[in-house]
Amino acid sequence: MSGARAAWERVAARPLRSALACALLGVLTLLWVLAARALWHSSVPAGMHLPHVDPRSVFSRSFLTSSASFERFLVIDLLLGDVALVVVLALYARWGDRLMRESAAGRIGTGMMLGMLGFAVLWLAEVPFNLAAVWWERKHGISHQGYLASLIASFLSLGGTFLFVSLALLITMAIAGILRRWWWALAAPIFAALALLSTFLSVYLIPDTHPLRSEPTAADVRRLARIEGIAGTKADVQDVKRQTTAPNAESVGFGSTRRVVLWDTLLDGRFDRREVDVVVAHELGHLAHDHPLKRVGWLALFLLPAAALVALFTRGRGGLGQPEAVPIALFVFVVLQLLTMPLMNVVSRREEAEADWSALRATHDPTAARALFRELALASRANPDPPTWSYVLYEDHPTIVQRIAMVEAWQARHAH
């Protein structure tokens, strides 16, 4: 109460300045809402009603049971992993600053070390959950990766995380050293710009890729890219079959680095050419509707308030200019990420639905789309109709049932 009273007294002492601050906050909020509205726009017809699809009409009872069981384990494992993550980060936020004695690196260097050690501790805490997931996927034939290989791979990828964290803290703490409490106002746009750069260069960061060698598929890519209005977009293949049997694809970059990346598990003969075309058209749909750029936009919208909240919560330890504030900053940032994950999933699902719609418009092949979604579920043992809580928390794609329903909706529209 005394804090609130002190804040009120400060407002009362400088009414003009407070009014200006409120007005500025209001304008910023308005701009935020307008930007979010622009990013929210979708080419999927507004108010389109998806017909009800009974999963039992598409999948066998045994598959529905086994996929539900398969996915339940993974989702619970993920949930427990997230709980462990929050607990470990909370403990680290409380006591992590004690590790400052392990540094002789000055203000920013010590902050970088604490940031890296925070993720190191997280990695250790996540090891059992990751190994459990590997065990489960191996048991069901989805993953071929050994336990040690999985551990080593995740350990090595931690090196990349360390570099990213170091760079992020270097920028943030350097700005905080100059701008003090207002570092976030500059840091958020800088990180958005870095995310934009990273999106542009992401195609070069994907390992084990090579150009698409199958000429018929390459011709389909060229044809579909023309239809979707992004002629000249190329497709690469990523070799993943040593690690997994699950099929997948992704779209990366923008402008001259725009690329569709197909996993080699998608081209191993389990899916026919028409089904692969649907996948390609879906990924091209992402690129045609600028989803990689939109993701950067959403990130920027998230970063601005998130950085402001980090700045607020780290004030108690002298602000993010001081290394002892880093463990708290990590905690706040990761918790905010977890809390906003359901919202980001909504955004992601909306983009995926738009890409599906785009693929249907480009291929005019609802039969192949329906078959593809069914086979995708079978190949990756995805639960076609997951429970709501898991859908809200973790699903960043529409469910298989929803995707098939969209196919039927598209078919119904074009039947008339």
Partner 1 sequence: MAAEQSNASPHHPVRLLLVDDLQRNRLTVFFRLILSIPHFIWISLWGLVTLVLVFINWFATLIQGRSPAGLHRLIASYVKYAIHFHAYLHLAAEPYPSFDGSPGYPVDVEIPPPAAQRRLTVLFRLILLLPALLIVLVLAGNPNSGAGTGRRSFSYTGGLLPGVAFLGWFAILAQGRMPRGLRDGAAYALSYGAQFWSYAFLLTEHYPDSDPLAAVPDLPVREDPVRLDLSDDLRRSRLTVFFRALLALPHLIWLELWGIIALLCAILNWFATLFAGRSPEGLHRFLAAYLRYYFHVVSFLYLIANPFPGFVGKAGSYPFEVLVAAREHQNRWKTGFRVILAIPALLLVGAYSALVFVVAVLGWFSSLARGRMPRGLRNAGALALRYHAQATGYLLLLTDAYPYGGPIAEGAAHETVPAIDSPSPTEGPGGGPGGPGAKPEIGLS
Give me the residues that bind partner 1 (CB under 8 A), please: 99-106, 108-110, 112-113, 116-117, 120-121, 155, 158-159, 162-163, 166-167
Instruction: Measure the CA–CA gap between 302 and 311, rounded to whole angstroms.
Output: 14
Distance of CA 336 to the CA centre of its chain: 14
3-state DSSP call for residue 228? Answer: coil
**Least distance to partner 1, CB of residue 125, Å:** 12
For β-strands 234-238 and 259-263, DSSP reports them as parallel
DSSP 162-205: HHHHHHHHHHHHHHHHHHGGGHHHHHHHHHHHHHHHHHHHGGGG
Cβ atoms 210, 239 nearer than 8 A: yes
Q: Which residues pair with 236 in a beta bridge?
A: 211, 261
Which residue do the tokens 């009273």 mark?
5
User: Between β-strands 249-252 and 234-238, what pairing exists: parallel, antiparallel or unpaired?
Assistant: unpaired
Residue (70 or 331) nearer to partner 1, CB: 331
Closer to partner 1 by Cβ: residue 174 or 392: 174
Query: Minimum distance between the CB of residue 245 and partner 1, rounded to whole angstroms?
Result: 30
- Give me the least distance between CB of 109 and partner 1, in Å please: 5
**By C-beta, is 100 or 344 nearer to partner 1?**
100
- On the CB side of 7, how many CA atoms lie within 13 Å of its CA? 4
Please identify, using beta-carbon distances, which residue of 110 and 199 lies nearer to partner 1: 110
Residue 116 beta carbon to partner 1: minimum distance, rounded to whole angstroms: 6
Shortest Å, Cβ 8 to partner 1 = 41
Q: Considering beta carbons, is residue 325 or 406 the nearer one to partner 1?
A: 325
Q: Which is nearer to partner 1, 117 or 300 (CB)?
A: 117
- CA 186 to chain CA centroid, Å, is 24
Q: In what order do the strands lie in the sheet with 259-263?
A: 209-211, 234-238, 259-263, 249-252
Strands 209-211 and 249-252: unpaired
Whole-number Cα distances in Å, 147 to 55, 202, 211, 216, 267 = 34, 28, 30, 38, 26
Q: Which is nearer to partner 1, 40 or 95 (CB)?
A: 95
The sign one gets for the Cα dihedral 144, 146, 147, 150 is: negative
SS3 232: coil
CB of 6 to partner 1, least distance (A): 34
Nearer to partner 1, 162 or 410 (CB): 162
Say which residues have a Cβ less than 8 Å from residue 258's Cβ, sequence separation at least 6: 230, 233, 251, 252, 287
- Per the CB < 8 A criterion, the answer to whether 356 and 403 are in contact is yes
Q: Least CB distance from residue 99 to partner 1, whole Å?
A: 7
Q: How far is the CB of 159 from partner 1 (least distance, A)?
A: 5
Nearer to partner 1, 171 or 309 (CB): 171
Min. distance of Cβ 183 from partner 1 in angstroms? Answer: 20
- Which of 240, 258, 250, 248 is CA-nearest to residue 199? 258
- The distance of closest approach from Cβ of residue 309 to partner 1 in the complex, given in angstroms and rounded to an integer, is 26
Q: How far is it, in rounded angstroms, from Cα 225 to Cα 69?
A: 39
Which of 121, 377 has the CB closer to partner 1? 121
Smallest distance from partner 1 to CB 187, Å: 19
Q: Which is nearer to partner 1, 96 or 285 (CB)?
A: 96
